[in-house]
C-alpha cells in the first residue's frame, strides 16, 4: 500500500506511536510518506520505504499566527497526488484529521485517498472537547473512513463526549519487544550501587503531575536511598525543580531532558513512576513493562488497561501522595516481588501489545477501508 502519515513530530506518545507504526509498515513493504512540521523525533535511520516531507508554513506580517493547518493540508494534497497515496493515517485529530479532509477535497476524484484517524487522548479529552474545537473535531471524525482509539477508555470517552454516528475501533498501542528489553544498561553511570533508581518520563505538561513525582520521591527518601531520574522536558519542569528545592531533595534528582533512545536508560530503573491526572493509554508504562521494570501509576483512564494493579505494578488514586509513596517503598524494598512484577509486565506486553499483532490489526483495518466504495 502507499500510505501517508501525519503526526506531531515532537517527543509525545502520539508521534512516537505514529513513527513506530510507519517503520513497522515500511518493514512489511508498504511505502510510507510522513508529512510533518519537522522530521519525527524517533525517525532516525534510513529506510528505503520511508519518505519524510516537511511542511513549510509561509508567514507574513499580517498574520498573528501563521496558518500552519492550511500549509499542512496543501502539503498532504501535493504528496498524495505526486505519490498516488491510497490511504492517509492522521494521528491526533487536531489539526491532522481536518487537514487531511481538506486535502482530500482539494484533490481530483481519482486521487482521493481513504482516511483513518487515530485518537490519542488529549485530542479528545482536553483539546477536542473544548468549545473552540468541538465541532471541527466531531466533523473530522465523522468524515474519516475509520476512527480508532488507543484504549477502550478513550473509545468510550469519545462516544460519550461526541455521540458519533459511527463506531470507533480500539487498537491498542504497541512496541517493538526486540528494542525494549531488560538488558544492556549502564546503571553505574546514573546512581551508586546502594541507591535505587526511580524514573519519570514525560513531556512535563500539567496533566503529568510532575510535582507529585517530587513529593512522593521525598517520602521515598525517608526510607530508601534513591535517585530520581526525570526524562523529558516541558512547561512543568521549573515547578518540579521548585518543589524539589523547597523539599531539599534537588541534589538527588537528575534531569536528562529530551532523550530519544529511551530503551537504553529505561532498564536501569528499579521503578517507573507516572502519577498522571489521566492517560488515555500510557506508552511509558508499556515501555517500562517491556523492560521488566515495575510501574507505579494512577488508576486513571486507559492506563488501567495497560498496568495490572498488583501484578505488573501498582495503581493509586490521583494525588494520593501517601499511598503512592507506600507502594513505591514496597516495590523498592522487596526485590523478589519487584522482579516478579517486572517479569509479568513483559509477559503482558508480549501477550497483548506486541508489534506484530497490533500492526496486523492496522493492516486489516486499512484493507477494509480501502475496500469501501468511493462516495459518488
Ligand atoms: O501525554 C501527552 O501529552 C502526549 C500525548 C500525545 O498525543 O502525544 O499522549 C497521548 O498519546 C499517547 C500515545 O497514544 C498515550 O500513550 C498517552 O496516554 C496520551 N496522553 C494522554 O492521554 C494524557
Is the CB of residue 287 below 6 angstroms from any atom belonging to ligand 1? no
pLDDT of residue 257: 92
6, 9, 14, best to mutate for ligand 1 pocket (most atoms within 8 Å of CB): 14
Is there an atom of ligand 1 within 6 Å of 12 CB? Answer: yes
Averaged confidence pLDDT in the chain: 94
From start to end of the chain, where are the E strands? 2-6, 31-36, 50-54, 87-91, 114-119, 146-149, 169-170, 196-201, 226-231, 253-257, 271-274, 295-298, 313-316
**Is the CB of 282 within 6 Å of ligand 1?**
yes
Tell me, using a 6 A CB cutoff, whether residue 254 lines ligand 1: no
**H-run or E-run covering 65:** none
Ligand 1 atom with minimal separation from the 281 CA: 18
pLDDT reported for residue 185: 60
Closest Cα to atom 23 of ligand 1: 279
200-226: per-residue pLDDT in tens?
Answer: 999 999 999 999 999 999 999 999 999
Query: Residue 7: phi, psi to the nearest 5?
Result: -155, 170
Find the 109 Cα to ligand 1 centroid distance in Å: 34
Of 36, 119, 120, 173, best ligand 1 pocket probe by most atoms within 8 Å of the beta carbon = 120
Q: How many whole angstroms separate alpha carbon 264 and alpha carbon 276?
A: 23
Ligand 1 centroid to residue 107 C-alpha, Å:
31
Q: Is the CB of 154 under 6 A from ligand 1?
A: no
CA of 260 to the centre of ligand 1 (A): 16
Which residues are within 8 A (CB) of 244 and not within 5 positions of it... i.e. 6 or more apart?
Answer: 214, 250, 253
pLDDT exceeds 70 at position 11 = no
Count other Cβ atoms within 10 Å, centred on residue 334: 13
pLDDT, residue 155, reads: 98
pTM comes to 0.94
- The count of other CB atoms within 10 Å of the CB of residue 300 is 22
Domains and CATH numbers, the chain: 2-174+354-370 (3.40.50.2000), 187-352 (3.40.50.2000)
Rounded CA-CA distance 202/210 in Å is: 9
The set of residues, in sequence order, having a beta carbon less than 8 Å from that of 316 and lying 6+ positions away, is 275, 296, 297, 298, 299, 323, 324, 327
Cα-to-centroid distance, 279 and ligand 1 (Å): 6
Bigger pLDDT: 193 vs 197 = 197
Ligand 1 atom closest to the CA of 283, numbered from 1:
16
Say whether pLDDT at 187 is over 70. no
3-state DSSP assignment of residue 359: helix
pLDDT of residue 90: 98
Ligand 1 contact via 207 beta carbon (within 6 Å): yes
* Cβ 173 under 6 angstroms from ligand 1: yes
Residue 246 CA to residue 376 CA, distance in Å, equals: 65
Cβ of 280 below 6 Å from ligand 1: yes
Is residue 60 over pLDDT 70? yes
Tens-place pLDDT, residues 294-352: 999 999 999 999 999 999 999 999 999 999 999 999 999 999 999 999 999 999 999 99
The verdict on the CB of residue 13 being under 6 Å from ligand 1 is yes
Amino acid at each position: 500500500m502507499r500510505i501517508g502519515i501525519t503526526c506531531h513530530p515532537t517527543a509525545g506518545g502520539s508521534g512516537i506511536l505514529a513513527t513506530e507504526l510507519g517503520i513497522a509498515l515500511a518493514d512489511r513493504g508498504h511505502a510510507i510518506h510522513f508529512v510533518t512540521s519537522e522530521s519525527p523525533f524517533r525517525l532516525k535511520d534510513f529506510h528505503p520505504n520511508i519518505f519524510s516531507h516537511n511542511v513549510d508554513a509561509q508567514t507574513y506580517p499580517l498574520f498573528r499566527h501563521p496558518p500552519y493547518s492550511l500549509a499542512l493540508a496543501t502539503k498532504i494534497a501535493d504528496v498524495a497526488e505526486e505519490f498516488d497515496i491510497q490511504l492517509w493515517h492522521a494521528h491526533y485529530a487536531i489539526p491532522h484529521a481536518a487537514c487531511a479532509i481538506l486535502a482530500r477535497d482539494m484533490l481530483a476524484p481519482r486521487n482521493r485517498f481513504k482516511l483513518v484517524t487515530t485518537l490519542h487522548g488529549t485530542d479528545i479529552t482536553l483539546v477536542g472537547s473544548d468549545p473552540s474545537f468541538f465541532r471541527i473535531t466531531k466533523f473530522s471524525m465523522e468524515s474519516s473512513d475509520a476512527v480508532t482509539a488507543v484504549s477502550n477508555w478513550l473509545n468510550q470517552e469519545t462516544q460519550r463526549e461526541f455521540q458519533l454516528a459511527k463506531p470507533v475501533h480500539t487498537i491498542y498501542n504497541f512496541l517493538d519487544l526486540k528494542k525494549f528489553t531488560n538488558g544492556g544498561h549502564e546503571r553505574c553511570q546514573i546512581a551508586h550501587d546502594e541507591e535505587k533508581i526511580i524514573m519519570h518520563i514525560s513531556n512535563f505538561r500539567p496533566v503529568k503531575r510532575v510535582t507529585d513525582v517530587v513529593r512522593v520521591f521525598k517520602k521515598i527518601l525517608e526510607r530508601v536511598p534513591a535517585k530520581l531520574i526525570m526524562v523529558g522536558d516541558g512547561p512543568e519542569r521549573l515547578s518540579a525543580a521548585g518543589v524539589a528545592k523547597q523539599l531539599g531533595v534537588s541534589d538527588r534528582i537528575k534531569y536528562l531532558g529530551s532523550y530519544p533512545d529511551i530503551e537504553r536508560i529505561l532498564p536501569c530503573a528499579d521503578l517507573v513512576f507516572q502519577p498522571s491526572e489521566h492517560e488515555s493509554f500510557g506508552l511509558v508504562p508499556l515501555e517500562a513493562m517491556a523492560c521488566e521494570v515495575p510501574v507505579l501509576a494512577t488508576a486513571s483512564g486507559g492506563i488501567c488497561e495497560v498496568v495490572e494493579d498488583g501484578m505488573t505494578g501498582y495503581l493509586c488514586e490521583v494525588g494520593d501522595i501517601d499511598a503512592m509513596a507506600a507502594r513505591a517503598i514496597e516495590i523498592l524494598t522487596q526485590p523478589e516481588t519487584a522482579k516478579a512484577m517486572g517479569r509479568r509486565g513483559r509477559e503482558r506486553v508480549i501477550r497483548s501489545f506486541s508489534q506484530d499483532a497490533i500492526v496486523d490489526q492496522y493492516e486489516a483495518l486499512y484493507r477494509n477501508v480501502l475496500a469501501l466504495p468511493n462516495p459518488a
